[in-house]
A and B are shown apart, each in its own frame.
Chain A
Amino acid sequence: MNYKTENIKTITVSKALKLDCGRTVKDFPLAYETYGKLSDTKDNAILVFHALTGDQFVSGINPVTKKEGWWVTAVGPGKAIDTNKYFVICANVIGGCMGSWGPKEIDKKTKEPYGLNFPVITIKDMVKAQESLLDHLGIEKLLCATGGSMGGMQLLQFCTTFPKKTFSAIPIACSSSHSAQNIALNELARQAIMADPIWDNGKYFLKNTQPKNGLAVARMVGHISYLSEQGMQEKFGRKLQEKADYEFSFNADFQVESYLRHQGSSFVERFDANSILYITRAMDYFDLSKQFKDGLAEAFKNQTTKYLVISFSSDWLYTTKENKDIVIALNASGADVSYSEIETDKGHDSFLLNESEFLKTLKAFIDSMYEKFKK
């Protein structure tokens, strides 16, 4: 990837952050973006946590990639999360590659990018770093915090680590701990990167290059897991890619092959391979119940945050069952929790798409929360 990330809004987190791995860091960059206007009473702030390959550019046009923000379907003027009404904040996770402290940033000691010298971080580390941003913006309590997939995991961590920081929370298509299947898929992505000779133990940056083949395969794995069997069949079937018959070669004969190759090759232009290693690791280490002696119910004990958990019927990456387990744990601890399972064949990707039932549900909850929270 060859993006310039200098002109991105960034704060320097000066508060010392003790990482789960034992290291303590401070004075590191955290890149972020905001949409809409913070009200005078600061009662309209919504924090969005992004997923594995997301970034802080939620809405509008991403100024770096020049493409639409990753959640334009849900966030923007007049959208479910209406930026005419709400102030939306999103930060790039640490370990990422859109301006926040990550493996491609320069290590002050060695004067070259960290590469694998970057510490292994966790979801909790990401969340703690982002709390500093709220301090910077002067927001004591958020109206709402939300996120899908890894964003949802960050949200659950955020709500348990900082229980008083948000009035409401919407975890979407996520899990309180990464399943064996999720870990396996992430491992496949990592192995694809590490098997690429260009990767060179994470030192590819010395040659100003990127393990493109490995990273593209990693992305393809991801894309398969974001769709459902039925959705994929409907979208691609056995359709051929701009040809009348088989070519009897290993070129992309099928549309689905072409789709995956395209997703893979465009991804390498915008994402750092080492970041994928670090972020997927953080996801795999995520197990909220492990942080509390009595498991999940204890994690959510004394929660005053109002929750809406949303899952998608055809999501096999973060299944309805996993999402429901969160609801059960919240119920067990007496928390105020709503839950909706959206019927769709679009798989895990649904939360990024124009799924009207999902967006209506999102809007209904946020607007009613605002009526209760506004000053």
Chain B
Amino acid sequence: MKKEFKVIADLLPNNSRVLDVGCGDGSLMNFLVKEKNIETRGLELDQNNVQDCLNKGLTVIQGDAETELYQFPKKSFDYVILSQTLQAFYKPDKVLNELLRIGKSVIVSIPNFGYWKVRTSLLLFGKMPVTKTLPNFWYNTPNLHMCTIKDLFNYCSDNNINIKKVIGVNENNISLIKKNNLEIKNLFSKLGVFLIG
């Protein structure tokens, strides 16, 4: 179980209705169904992942989150989850708006481009960073719009998106991120998990 999934699961109340956008092979959904009796739906692009979800008895719709979120009605889910994919969209702002339309709350996690190792890679070595959370090279990365925890924090404030909770995730610990510790957490968190909406 990935630490991030545990963090996300802890944000969700039992028996809620959840849409997992880019649900992969359904690991998170499976965990949520079993541990918290959550009613899940997934949206996933890849055919093999879709089959894996169906094999697990999960409900999944094959489709592209960039273009196909329109099919879900307004506020049809208690929570919509987007795990580490926001940066891979052509238009992350449009996708974020769609998530906020569909879900009463939205959980977005991002690999933090403000993490110190990422910063030093560029600063000291003059190379695009390659880390555990950003494993690809500049030429084959699916990431189009990298951002930092601070960027997303500011984006939400600037666009009147209500920030309910932000959690910084590292291998060994998780911590709450607020306005007053944003600078330091932005430097030392590998991953940011935002509960917004």
Contact = CB atoms under 8 A, between A and B. Distances in A.
Interface of A: 306, 308, 324, 327-328, 331-332, 334, 336-343, 357, 360-361, 364-365, 367-369, 371-372
B180 to A, nearest CB: 41
Q: How large is the interface on B (under 10, 10 to 19, 20 to 34, 35 or more residues)?
A: 10 to 19
B59 A368 contact: no
B63 interface: yes
A331 B60 CA distance: 12
B50 interface: yes
B62 A368 contact: no
Contact of A328 (B47, B51, B54, B71): B71
Contacts of A332: 73
Interface in B52-86: 53-57, 59-63, 71-73, 76
B57 A338 contact: no
Contacts of B47: 340, 342-343, 357
Nearest to B53: A338
Contacts of B73: 331-332
A340 B62 contact: yes
A372 B59 CA distance: 13
Contacts, number: 53
A368 B73 CA distance: 27
A324 B71 contact: yes
Given A327-B71, A368-B54, A338 B76 contact: no
Given A332-B73, A334-B76, A327 B51 contact: no
Contacts of A343: 47
Given A334-B76, A338-B59, A340-B50, 8 more contacts: A306-B59, A327-B71, A338-B60, A341-B62, A342-B47, A357-B47, A368-B54, A371-B57
Contacts of A360: 51
A332 B72 CA distance: 7
B50 A337 contact: no
6 contacts: A308-B54, A327-B71, A331-B61, A338-B54, A371-B57, A372-B57
Nearest to B43: A339
A331 B72 contact: yes
A95 to B, nearest CB: 34
A340 to B, nearest CB: 5
Nearest to A324: B71
A343 B48 CA distance: 12
A320 to B, nearest CB: 10
B50 A368 contact: no
A11 to B, nearest CB: 34
Contact of A331 (B53, B54, B76): B76
A328 B73 CA distance: 9
A339 B57 contact: no
A306 B72 CA distance: 17
Contact of B56 (A306, A341, A368, A369): A368
A364 B72 contact: no
Contacts of A364: 51, 54-55
Contacts of B57: 368-369, 371-372
A361 B51 CA distance: 6
Given A331-B76, A338-B61, A361 B50 contact: yes
A340 B60 CA distance: 8
A169 B63 CA distance: 20
A337 B54 contact: no
